Amino acid sequence: VTNNRLFYIIRSSGGTWGAENNLEVEAGIDWQGVRVCIGANDLIHIVYAGTSTAIYYRNLNSSDSLSGRTQLTTSVGTTVRAPALKPVYYDDAGAEKITLIYYKSSDSKLYSRVVTNGSVGSESAAAIEANTVRAHIASSLTPCAFVAVNAAAKTVYVCYADNTTFDLYEVHSIAE
């Protein structure tokens, strides 16, 4: 791969698109699987992966300043190279929380990290009893059907499918 860069473009309030900006330019990695959400004060949260099988997080503020790259995980395995779902945002009594969901083929589990006011928390495995659907970059299968948040109850819900039966299951976590 000779052109292995990841770009973003900013659209002005007047509706015109600006020039391409580099999100990633590290040589030797095919960047892919970008997922985004908008948090408080128009802060854009970006989660993405590369052929290095690592998943990364960055954010872009309303002044068009891009944060440094934070590595979320390195061992997603060989069959998944992308975050499972788009991140979800909620306000927790004034604290901005972003939940990031990703899948590791090494143990067929979903994992999550919570970014609180820009600080990335520890990795935690979702309480999954069965194997999730194995997602592959070239496949239409995805390990999750949806992720949703109930901000009032401080609860994040994830729906996923069993790898063998394709039965749907729901797990949830209650934020502290």
Tokens describing residue 111: 């994992």
Tokens describing residue 88: 């979800």
Region of 138 (left: φ > 0; alpha: ψ -120 to 50; beta: rest) is alpha
Strands 17-24 and 6-11: antiparallel
pLDDT tens across 18-32, in order? Answer: 999 988 888 777 787
| Mean of the per-residue pLDDT values of the chain | 76
Q: Residue 126 — pLDDT band, cuts 50, 70, 90?
A: low
CA distance 108 to 75: 12
pLDDT tens across 28-59, in order? Answer: 777 877 888 898 888 899 988 877 677 888 99
Give the mean pLDDT of 142-160.
73
| C-alpha pair distances (Å), 42 with each of 15, 89, 112, 139 | 16, 11, 23, 33
